[in-house]
Structure 1
Amino acid sequence: MNSQIFSRPDRDAASHWLKSYYFARAAVALVWFAAAFTLGKTSPSIAGALLVAYPAYDALANFIDAQRSGGLKFNRSQAINVAISILATIAVAAALTRDLHAVMAVFGAWAIIAGLLQLITGVVRWKIGAQWAMILAGAQSALVGVFFIKQATGPATIGIKDIAPYAAFGALYFFASAVWLTVAQARRDARRTA
């Protein structure tokens, strides 16, 4: 199924998949956020593992979504996002051997690129519905990335607590999209049975 061209049944199937996908991504982001503010604040090794896991999970999630939505060939922005997130995972692991300023710089660059790619994916999927939240999330991610890079070049102490709100906002946008799709599907179902 090409993500750019949808018949009604394809749109309904895509909407159903994305609803589940967005709920799952919101839940994972919330768990990551909670772990960052509890375990990550008290254990540098757990914080490091969480920081590496975040872009790794993004790569995996984008890969699965692209595969369920017609494949990487038809979802180029996601295919690029998978590659960028894999590179970010490696770069975060390498930056952890230096300091958290380097990690923040990597997160910033990744947030900018991944955010713009998410924005593009949202525009391509506009007809499915609920993509306004994904477009906003992508734009905000890019802006936060600029802020992360600015923080990385400053003298202030940096920790996982500075990155964790990024995950919380991501969870909010994914949840909003999932709820929007759920309501839209319920309305369509009600019209069909009326």
Structure 2
Amino acid sequence: MLNQTETETSLSPARWLRGYYLARAGFSVAWVALVLTLGQQFPALGAALLLLYPAWDAAANCADATRHGGLRQNRSQAINVFVSGLTTVLVLVALPISPAAVLGVFGAWAIVAGLLQLATAIRRWSLAGAQWAMVLSGGQSALAGGAFLFQGQQAMPAVASTIAGYAGFGAIYFLISAIVLFLARRAPAAGTATRRH
């Protein structure tokens, strides 16, 4: 029983991350669906959804950092919370200006947030393992941000569909991360069961 309790305790960070990644994937899927449907029909809702996305990222990073020792011990996520919160404010400022301004804000955010996510994934690899999808996600986010800045130079960039595509890829990476952590949990359990037989 003691060994089982110790194993469950050691797996608690991975267990939290599985739920965290699933929650983030589910939110992104729901957000994309709303942006591409009701958000297109009701501009006010579409604007609110654009504000919600970076705000959710700030809240999610804050919750994750708090679960792993607090913001002081997770500097990359602490910075991400600040950057995502600031982005929410800047999106609010950019919305009345132009779609290009909004996409420019999201582009800058995607670059910074992607690099911070990359740093977080590398740092916590030894804690939970299976962070390669988050590493790829962070790198792709930074590249996508650069593409956003380029597209923002167009007269009327397609903001909703562009950011929805970005969020959709993010959902895939979060889902993959959750699945990988789940399979990594089952592998030791299967090995233990085999040894007992």
For normalisation by structure 1, the TM-score amounts to: 0.93
Structure 2: how far apart are the matches of 1:71 and 1:154?
Answer: 41
Could you tell me how far 1:11 is from its partner in structure 2?
Answer: 4.6
State the one-letter code of the partner of 1:102: A
- In the other structure, the counterpart of 1:111 is 110
- In the other structure, the counterpart of 1:147 is 147
Preserved contact between residue 41 and residue 161 of structure 1 (Cα < 8 Å): no
Are 1:40 and 2:39 counterparts? Answer: yes
- In the other structure, the counterpart of 1:131 is 131
Structure 2: how far apart are the matches of 1:11 and 1:143?
Answer: 35
Corresponding residue SS for 1:74: coil
> What are structure 1's unaligned runs of at least 5 residues?
1-6
> What's the C-alpha RMSD, in Å, of the aligned pairs?
1.4
- In the other structure, the counterpart of 1:31 is 30
Are 1:184 and 2:184 counterparts? Answer: yes
1:54-103 alpha-carbon deviations (Å, 9 max, x no partner): 00000000000000011111110000000000000000011012111100
Q: Sequence identity, in percent?
A: 48
Corresponding residue SS for 1:153: coil
Are 1:172 and 2:185 counterparts? Answer: no
Q: Matches of residues 47-126 of structure 1 in structure 2 within 5 Å?
A: 47-126=46-125
Corresponding residue SS for 2:69: coil
State the one-letter code of the partner of 2:52: A
For normalisation by structure 2, the TM-score amounts to: 0.91
Could you tell me how far 1:21 is from its partner in structure 2?
Answer: 0.3
Change (3 A) 1:42 1:159: farther
- In the other structure, the counterpart of 2:21 is 22
Corresponding residue SS for 1:73: coil
State the one-letter code of the partner of 1:132: W
Structure 1: how far apart are the matches of 2:40 and 2:157?
Answer: 13
State the one-letter code of the partner of 1:48: A
State the one-letter code of the partner of 2:55: A
Corresponding residue SS for 2:11: helix
Could you tell me how far 1:8 is from its partner in structure 2?
Answer: 6.9
Q: How many residues align?
A: 188
Structure 1: how far apart are the matches of 2:10 and 2:104?
Answer: 38
Preserved contact between residue 84 and residue 113 of structure 2 (Cα < 8 Å): yes
Q: Specify the structure having the higher radius of gyration (Cα).
A: 2
State the one-letter code of the partner of 2:149: I
